[in-house]
Structure 1
Amino acid sequence: MTRFHATARSVRGRILVHHNDPQQHSGRFSTQFLARSSDGMSRVERRKRDFFSAFAKPQPTAKKQKQDIPTTTEVTDIKDTPDGEEESTDFKLALLSSLHPSLPHEDLLELLLAADGSVDAASALAAKPRSTITTQSSLSTFLSPSSSIVSPRRIPFPLPPIPKFKTLHLSTPSQVPFHAPATLHASFLPAATATQLLTECLAEVPAFGRYEFRLFERNVSSPHTAAFYVASKEMAARHTSRGGYLYNGTTLETVRLFTPTMTAVTPIVERLVNDSIAERVASVYPGGRKLKYMLPEGKWRVTSAFMNCYDGAKQSVGWHSDQLTYLGPRTVIASLSLGVEREFRLRRVAPVTLDPDAESPDTASPPPGEESTEGGQTDKPEEEWRWQPEGQVSIHLPHNSLLIMHAECQESWKHSVHPANNISPHPLANNKRINITFRCYRDALTPDKIPRCKCGVACVLKAVQRVKEKMGRYFWGCQVGNQWRDDEKEEGGCGYLLWAKFDDDGDPIWE
């Protein structure tokens, strides 16, 4: 007589069925699988009966009988079997797989282990809402922050270094603030609102242009297209009537007004950003106080935005930090991603300075190294050093996600959009990614107030990142060297440099 021997593979999560003659196996096989109880059924037959009865529609029987047969809404712990032995992991995985067919078996195994073998508890964990980021899978996506399995941790300040030449891939929003000065919010807008905003942005893209500037004595163009937007007609008129805003030494001649949906979502962006800033100040920054030069609590607002379009996997942007000229020090930028998911990277290029005005800045001092060349002179060769290069953080930004880059991000970190080998098309945007970077321009840093160098061009605001004695200080410098050239004039500008001064809230002090 032929019988079935079912063996479940827990690692791969599938059941392999072998047709074997029991006479070919040892006596242990016959004793274990063919021994019959008083009801005339073997253990395999009893398990098969219990497995299918777990999903049978409950019959109107007495209360005692109803408790004996588990249903789909109340899966038992499967510990009290007819023969008094605990069911195997394979059998429990089969139950979980039937209850949650969309989850990979590897995830089900992790959940079962986390629940100490309880099918009830594992099923409850699997039913909890998860993050919409699907680039990687981990047990933490199933658990709430209050879960006893994942204990809450305090975000360190400053953040721990990432080993040189290493890339740390972050798979969930909860991991981001522990390794980068940023906060990620997935599924930021209601789905219909995000679709409407993306539709408006795609209609704007054909009129976008590429930014042209000078880099290493060569004319270069940005690898993607972009446009500059402002929130009101008053601000648009102020841009043009006062000489216009500069970017990399070039005037932004075209200033666009926010689209209707951009205007509609502005209050949502402002509320979330201000809440995130307040939470970070209270729980991360030293003493629960804002960093010097940050805006006062609740004062961040949306005044303008750059809208960028990355069309295809190869369009990207290299390592850079956003210019501070009109944003001021310790600025916060909110970056909204729409359309195709792309990889966003950050790496630290300088230590975080708590008080740039102090005689001895409170910064981490890297070991002595090569000669420093930016923004000043060094005293002695043995004291010359550069910040040691660090690794980078990789974050995948899906459609309708908002990344908030916090106050220390632009001064101490650089970011980029990494080229991709291939991308998954978006149903509406196809191969395009739209990125809107909402910004807060300061009223005290309008074009008519920015200092001008000896060349007669408005200066650019930068932070010192390499000179130890002046680490974290800000200066106004000539940016003529960044301008696109159509002639054979001598390279570079006048070398103008003026140290910038600000009050505690980051507004300039002019002398």
Structure 2
Amino acid sequence: MSKRPSMNKKRNFFEAFAAAPKSKPKSESKSAIEYPAEKKQALKYAPGKDSPPSRERDIETPPEGSNEGVIKPPENRDNTEEEEEDSTDFKLALLSSLHPTLSPSTLLELLLTSHGSVAEASTLAASQTSSPKKPSTSVVTTQSSLSTYLSPSDSTNTLKKIPFPLPPIPKFKTLHLTTPSQVPFHAPATLHPSFLSQETANKLLSECLSEVPSFGRYEFRLFERNVSSPHTAAFYVKDEEMAKKHRGGYMYNGSYLDDIRTFTPTMVDIIPHIERQVNDEISARIKEVYPNSEKLKYMLPEGKWHVTSAFMNCYDGAKQSVGWHSDQLTYLGPRTVIASVSLGVEREFRLRRVAPVVLKPYDEPFEPDDDNEQEDEKEWKWETEGQLSVHLPHNSLLIMHAECQESWKHSVHPANNIQPHPIAGGKRINITFRCYRESLLPEKIPKCKCGVGCVLKTVQRVKDKMGWYFWGCQVGNQWKENEDDTKDEKKEGGCGYLQWAHFDEDGDPIWE
């Protein structure tokens, strides 16, 4: 990765180009052009900025260049904080107006090679015009979003409406969604980068940081071994009355939740704001995305989502993370929506689809045999997909919609390094606000033969039963105090209890 430009270079740049018009030049093409995220972030950040050098979030795609606009010497310009640094898009627009014959991707390469200096990039561009030889660069280009797979005509039409179901992700690809507007077109989620006021977000972060020292790690059983969560967490509810009801009843990963806390004052204050935002988005998604403008089966009716509880997680340092998982549905019910607020250090959030959506024939020729009943199973195989990457900055809200938990998994990816936050240092706080259903209280949940409340899961891999729900034994997930007692395979895996779960149209259980 190229070195970032010094602050002196940036100030010289603005002295030379301060009077350039800030409005984007008119585009000669209607299609959007994607740029590799690694290149854009290498040019965006300067020393002393609070934002981490991870990935640019809110940059609009620059138009192709035009000949309009003339760069003039600067007039009286104050060195305000707003004017201290312009975006990569603005620099590209300037270069494009000076060298309209070069493509935006070529100009981006030149700007990167010049360490963000427009003047140096313009000099290189002049030589590029006379001798079209690509400049060398050590940056490895990566796919920034699925939109680069679309033709210009397809791109314009596709962005008008969020597709449902979402398009498959190319195999072995990590698609980096660099702007919030890209997220809902490729993931069952929406991202709001600046959800709360700065004052409220910092106040909430400070309250959460004061709670962190008393957090614990969740301990559970995985592949016949005791494991602990790589990060620390705690569970929160609205008030002490609810906390009493939850203690000794609610379970997570096979163990009872005993450390149940009440919301901090600022958490209480922001709940109405979160509920309003989530319900508005659910209504819009039903009308604009889902088939026939109807809610998905088992979803809560419009306007009924509300906050009952939350998990607060702390990731301390670049290496603390959480692996691929879906949030448990036991008390949430099917087609649940979860609102996730991120505070402190920016971290990378990844999603991948687990329920296969594309059938792909085998590569070798196949001739079906009517006498062989198994040929139909051999004819097709599930095609694997790639994954999505979204960076969640301080004070952002990510809403995971009704398709997310059943058909997708998500994770917080380990980082090689992070940019410290001025308040949180190396910590990231994540609060996932949830809506527990009254119809799924612990006393109503079926118990397995072990006498323990069951866990609600959905079938994700069996073709004929995909999307079915079932109640299963979760004793196999319980932490074993004495691992010598796990020699009995039946005891290790629980009783193997399984009961199909049935729900009405609104996702409330129908008990047999």
Same fold (TM > 0.5): yes
Q: Which of these residues, 386, 389, 401, is aligned with residue 406 of structure 1?
A: 401
Deviation per residue, 1:425-448 (Å, 9 max, x gap): 000000000000000000010110
1:446 aligned onto 2:424: no
Letter in 2 for 1:275: D
Matching residue of 1:383: 377
Q: Which residue of 2 aligns with 1:294?
A: 299
Contact 2:67 2:98 in 1 (8 A): no
Q: Following TM superposition, by how much is the alpha carbon of 1:244 offset from its aligned partner in structure 2, in angstroms?
A: 1.6
Specify which of 156, 169, 172 is matched with residue 162 of structure 1: 169
1:424-471 deviation digits (Å, cap 9, x = unpaired): 000000000000000000001011011011111111000000111111
State the AA in 2 paired with 1:255.
Answer: I
Q: Does 1:228 align with 2:235?
A: yes
Q: Is the 8 A contact 2:448 2:473 kept in 1?
A: yes
Q: Are the structure 2 counterparts of residues 382 and 93 from structure 1 closer, same or farther at C-alpha, using a change threshold of 3 Å?
A: farther
**Judging changes above 3 Å, is the alpha-carbon distance between structure 1 residues 263 and 367 closer, same or farther for their aligned structure 2 residues?**
farther
Alignment of 1:460-471 (within 5 A): 460-471=455-466
Residue 246 of structure 1: which of 220, 234, 251 is its match? 251
Q: Which amino acid aligns with 1:437?
A: T
Contact 2:473 2:497 in 1 (8 A): yes
Tell me what 1:33 maps to.
Answer: none
Which letter does structure 2 place at the counterpart of 1:492? G
Distance change (3 Å), C-alpha of 1:498 and 1:312:
same
User: Equivalents in 1 of 2:189, 2:282: separation in Å?
Assistant: 10
Pick closer, same or farther for the CA change 1:211–1:281 going to 2, 3 Å. same
Q: Which sits farther off after the overlay, 243-252 or 179-188?
A: 243-252
Equivalence for 2:423: 428
Residue in 2 that maps onto 1:495? 496
Amino acid of the residue matched to residue 280 of structure 2?
Answer: D
- Helix, strand or coil at the partner of 1:448: helix
Aligned counterpart, 1:141 = none
| Length, aligned pairs only | 388
- Is 1:190 paired with 2:190? no
- Higher-Rg member (1/2): 1
Give the Å deviation of 1:186. Answer: 1.1
Cα distance in 1 for residues equivalent to 2:241 and 2:301: 24
Are the counterparts in 2 of residues 327 and 442 from structure 1 also a CA contact under 8 Å? yes
Question: Structure 1: 5+ residue runs without aligned partners?
Answer: 1-11, 17-50, 56-70, 78-87, 118-135, 139-148, 352-362, 370-378
Residue 70 of structure 2 aligns to which amino acid in structure 1? K
Unaligned runs of 5+ in 2: 1-8, 26-65, 78-82, 101-141, 145-154, 364-372
Which of residues 320, 331, 339 in structure 2 aligns to 1:334? Answer: 339
2:206 to 199, 205, 209: 199
C-alpha distance after superposition, 1:23-82 (max 9, x if no partner): xxxxxxxxxxxxxxxxxxxxxxxxxxxx99x99xxxxxxxxxxxxxxx99999x9xxxxx
- Mapped contact 1:463–1:473 kept (Cα < 8 A): yes
- Say if 1:462 and 1:476, in contact at 8 Å, map to a contact too: yes
Residues 348-374 of structure 1, C-alpha deviations (whole Å, 9 max, x = no match)? 0104xxxxxxxxxxx7556579xxxxx
The residue type paired with residue 389 of structure 1 is T
CA distance in 2, matches of 1:102, 1:150: 31
How many angstroms apart in 1 are the aligned matches of 2:376 and 2:156? 47
Q: Distance between the aligned counterparts of 1:413 and 1:429, measured in 2? A: 30
Q: Please state how far the C-alpha of 1:234 moved relative to its aligned partner.
A: 2.6
Where 1:92 maps in the other structure, the secondary structure is coil
What TM-score results when the alignment is normalised by the length of structure 2? Answer: 0.69
2-structure distance, mates of 1:213, 1:402: 29
2:348 paired residue number: 343
Mapped pair 1:209 → 2:213:
no
Cα distance change on mapping 1:111 and 1:266 into 2, 3 Å: farther
1:98 Cα deviation (Å)? 9.4
CA contact (8 A) 2:459 2:466 kept: yes
Offset, 1:231 = 1.2
- Determine if contact 1:97/1:103 at 8 Å carries over to the other structure: no
User: Is the CA contact 1:368–1:382 (under 8 Å) kept in the aligned structure 2?
Assistant: no
Specify the alignment match of 1:177 in structure 2. Answer: 184
Aligned equivalents of 1:495 and 1:96: distance in 2? 75
Once residues 433 and 306 of structure 1 are traced to their aligned partners in structure 2, the CA distance between those partners, rounded to angstroms, is 14
**Cα distance change on mapping 1:386 and 1:312 into 2, 3 Å:** farther
Report the Cα distance in structure 1 between the residues aligned to 2:179 and 2:426, rounded to whole angstroms. 24
The alpha-carbon deviation at position 193 of structure 1 amounts to 0.5
Hey, what does 2:311 align to over in structure 1?
Answer: 306
Does the 8 Å CA contact 1:13/1:105 hold for their aligned counterparts?
no
Per-residue Cα deviation, 1:125-157 (whole angstroms, up to 9, x for no partner): xxxxxxxxxxx9x9xxxxxxxxxx978521111
TM-score by length of 1: 0.70
Q: Tell me how far 1:380 sits from its aligned partner.
A: 3.8
Q: Does 1:419 align with 2:426?
A: no
Could you say if the C-alpha distance between residues 172 and 98 of structure 1 is closer, same or farther in structure 2, counting changes exceeding 3 Å? farther
1:447 counterpart letter in structure 2: P
Distance 1:435 1:13, change over 3 A: closer
| 1:457-486 deviation per Cα after TM superposition (whole angstroms, max 9, x unaligned) | 111000000111111000000111111112
Alpha-carbon distance change, 459 to 298 in structure 1, aligned in 2, over 3 angstroms? same
- What is the RMSD computed on CA atoms of the aligned residues? 3.5
The answer to whether the 8 A contact 1:96-1:108 is kept is: no
Distance 1:94 1:161, change over 3 A: farther
Q: 2:471 aligns with which of 453, 472, 476?
A: 476
What is the CA–CA distance in structure 1 between the aligned matches of 2:336 and 2:218, rounded to whole Å? 22
Give the structure 1 partner of residue 70 of structure 2.
92
Any conservation in 1 of the 2:326–2:405 contact (CA below 8 Å)?
A: yes
1:383 partner amino acid: E
The aligned counterpart of 2:271 is 266
Equivalent residue number for residue 281 of structure 1: 286
